[in-house]
Structures are given as C-alpha cells and as structure tokens.
Structure 1
C-alpha cells in the first residue's frame, strides 16, 4: 500500500525550521480519536475475536537499530517490523537506509522514518494497527514518529516510549502498581492548549518487591487512535513483559537482522 500523504514523508534534507513546520502540519492532520474497524478489547484475547467469527486484526510492532561503518561510526538505520495476528507472528521484514542527520530531540522521524516507511512498503500484509518504539502525540509539536508515519500511511498507530519527551503527569509516576495509568497533560513545551490530554504513563508490569520498581511506559496516540484506547492496547498486549509484545518482538528482530547483516 503506497503512502497516502507522500508529501509529508520525512525528508532529512530540510532545514530544521522546515522540519518543524512539517511536523506542525502533521499534528494538524493527525486524528487523535478512535477511527479503525476492529474491537481493540479483543487484542488481549484472540479467542474472543475467533468466537465472534471475525478475523483477528493484524498488529505490527516497529523498532529501530543502527549499523556501523568500518570506522565504527553509526552510518545506517535499520527498521524492523513484526506483524502479528491473533498473538502469532505472521511476517517479519526490515529495511536499511543511510543515517543522514544526527539525533535531534523531537526530530526522530527525519532520522529514522525512511527505513520504517521502506519496511512497511515491503510488508506483504496490510496492518490494521502499528505500535512504534517512540512517541506519538507526546511530542513538542504533537507529531512524534508514530504520528508522522501514521499520517503518511493513514495507518492507525500508537507511540510507546520508554521516557517522557514532554508534557506533565497529573500525579507521580513512581512505583505504580501494574495496570495503573497516569494522564499526561500538555504544558508550555507542547503545541497544544495547557491541560490537554496527550497520552498516559502506563504501568504494564511491576515488581512485587518494595526495594525496586519498573518505570512506566509513555503511551500516546499516533493517528486514528484515542489516548484511552492507546493505553488499553498497551496494557492488553504487554501480557508477560513490560513492552507490548509486537514492539518487544520488533526490538528482538532488529538485533537479529543487525547481526545477520554483520554489524
């Protein structure tokens, strides 16, 4: 399936001001409400979907790794996509493109979006939902990598980040019980009205010991998904590990593909 908005595809040749202007356009084009054709409550229970006579949705996890040149410098980005249906892996693909700009907070898609779009292009199945290792609406211009790629492909998407890029939690996020979610509000660092709900800190797993704890994930809508559903999906798909299973498997596959290439 070709991109719906190729005019908004990440372009690393743009000046920083042009990149930020494009992100504002993407944020305006994004839909931060549920707009997809399956019941997200069945994602954590594939048998419920089968019992209803419907085919389970295809959910993909997306993660990135990096390759070094002969001098030991990172020169290529590798994007791994793992497609799952009913809890089973049905396809794995990856793509590699040159790294053309350094890491700049808030401009991740312009550094790593190219291989993601290429990998999605070679995927033989059409995903119903994508989970990204990165931010969605929890972003300075409401256009993290999950939003950027989601809008370009018009693909329902969710950002699952390990750290908080911007915004303010409404309460403490330390040592939360498993299953807890804490709203993340827009503040002066976000191009949105102060107090707008832009995502959740989601505690998918937690130690039982009081001496150590697992940090939450920062889950936000990318495109065509609302914040509550994004949090629901992250919890439903993180059955045994902190990360939702599609993202965890994409992370593992990124490392496997990297080793096969010979980094």
Structure 2
C-alpha cells in the first residue's frame, strides 16, 4: 500500500538526535483536527449508514507482540492488524520483522514502526481510520506512534495508551465515572506551549464498587483527527471492554498469531 510520506518513515539507523529531529518534522506535518470523509456516528451505530446511504468506515486496530530468541531476548516484532467494518471483522493480517533497536521511551515508533508498516501493507482493504495501542499527540515531541504511522500513511489515526507518557491532566483522573473525559495539556516536558490540549483521559469502563476502580485510557489524535473526536470514537468503540474493540481484537490476534508461531 502507498506511503505518501516515505521520507518520514522510521529509520532505526538514525542517531537519537536525528530521531528526535524527525519526530519534530512529523509533528509539523501532522493535522490535529478532523479531516476525514466518514460520519463518526456510523462507528457506534452502523444503522446510521442507512440514512447517509454509505458503507461504514473501515476501522483498523493495531497492536504488537514480541518473539524471543534462544537466549530469551526479544529479537522480532509481530505486528497484528485487524480491520473492522460496522462492528464486524473483515480482515486480519500480521507481519513478523526483526527488532533493530531496544526500547527507548519516546522513540517507540522507531522500534515498532517498520513492523507495523509491513503489516499494514498486507491489508487488502484501505483503512479509513487507524487505532493504535500507543500515544499520538500525547508525546514529548507531539509525535507518538499513532502520529508517526498516520502521517507516513496519511490516514486518520488515534493513539490509545494505557499510561500517561507526558502532559498534565487538568483535573484528578482517579475513580472517574464511566464516560468521563479529562483534558490532558502540555507542560514543560512537551514541545508545545504550556496548556496546549494534547488529548484526553477517557474513562471507558468503571467498576460498580467503592473499593476498586479502573484507570482511564489516554487518548490523543494521531493525524487528521481532533482531540474531541478521538475521545468520542474511543468511547463509541469500547462497547463492552475498556479498550476500543478494534484495538482489543488486534491484541487478541497478536497473542493468537504468536502462539501459532511458537507451538
């Protein structure tokens, strides 16, 4: 499949300073506002397409698993991609590629980006929206893995992270009610003016108990999606579980594909 910005593709051979400089280029190229052709209402209500006389968009979840060598070291990435339309799985593909560099906070896309692009290239359908298990604009240089991949492919994308990489919540995020969202703004650790809206802590599910609670997801625009729409989409797609369904399905498929390779 096409990569409109191959010049911004992850290159594990770059120095750390070069990687960080490339991320700043990616952030400059990213569009952190809505720029897509589909109606987001069709994501949670496929029947809405009847009124608009169109097909539901193809929403793709992306997740990773890792394979180890005989010494127990991670040496390969298994990138799992699940395409859905109207809540139904229409395609599942994966790719296994070598890991070229170790994990470095803030440079995840240079470790996992090439495997993800390889898996996306295996898809026979064109994604209308990509959801990543990882950050988008909530990132030191506003260029997490969802932003990096979204810009390279020029596809609307959203980052869905389980922990907060950087930025500051505008309110307390403990024990939030289901459906609540709390704005995450930039601070001194982010290459953006203080107070810039980066995304939201989104409470997709919560226990009905005073003794325990579920932490929120940290949702941010990757490319061609605004922060409010990103939060809306994740809430709409988290129908029964904490994670939005396409990402949850990609996580399951990554484990399944890994088992099939190692058995």
TM-score (norm: length of structure 2): 0.99
2: CA distance, partners of 1:39 / 1:86: 12
Partner of residue 164, structure 2: 164
2: CA distance, partners of 1:10 / 1:251: 22
- What secondary structure does 2:177 align onto? coil
The alpha carbon displacement at 1:52 in A equals: 2.9
Partner of residue 187, structure 1: 187
Partner of residue 82, structure 1: 82
CA contact under 8 A between 1:50 and 1:56: conserved in structure 2? no
Partner of residue 39, structure 2: 39
The alpha carbon displacement at 1:2 in A equals: 1.3
Partner of residue 115, structure 2: 115
> Per-residue CA shift, 1:199-223, capped at 9, x if unaligned?
0000000000010000000000000
1:236-247 map, 5 Å:
236-247=236-247
1: CA distance, partners of 2:49 / 2:158: 21
Q: Does 1:18 align with 2:8?
A: no
Q: Does 1:174 align with 2:174?
A: yes
CA contact under 8 A between 1:134 and 1:159: conserved in structure 2? yes
- Number of residues of Structure 1 aligned to a counterpart in Structure 2: 263
1: CA distance, partners of 2:127 / 2:91: 11
Q: Does 1:198 align with 2:198?
A: yes
* Structure 2 unaligned blocks of 5 or more: none
* Structure 1 unaligned blocks of 5 or more: none
Partner of residue 149, structure 1: 149
The alpha carbon displacement at 1:8 in A equals: 0.6
1: CA distance, partners of 2:119 / 2:76: 14
Structure 1 residue ranges, 4+ long, deviating more than 4 angstroms after superposition = none
2: CA distance, partners of 1:130 / 1:175: 29
2: CA distance, partners of 1:21 / 1:51: 46
CA contact under 8 A between 1:43 and 1:236: conserved in structure 2? yes
Partner of residue 260, structure 1: 260
> Per-residue CA shift, 1:92-114, capped at 9, x if unaligned?
00011111111100000000001
The alpha carbon displacement at 1:145 in A equals: 0.1
> Per-residue CA shift, 1:59-78, capped at 9, x if unaligned?
00000010011221110011
- What secondary structure does 1:218 align onto? strand
The alpha carbon displacement at 1:50 in A equals: 3.1
The alpha carbon displacement at 1:51 in A equals: 4.0
2: CA distance, partners of 1:176 / 1:39: 28
Partner of residue 217, structure 2: 217
Partner of residue 100, structure 1: 100
Question: What is the Cα-based RMSD across aligned positions, in Å?
Answer: 0.8
- What secondary structure does 2:214 align onto? coil
Partner of residue 48, structure 2: 48
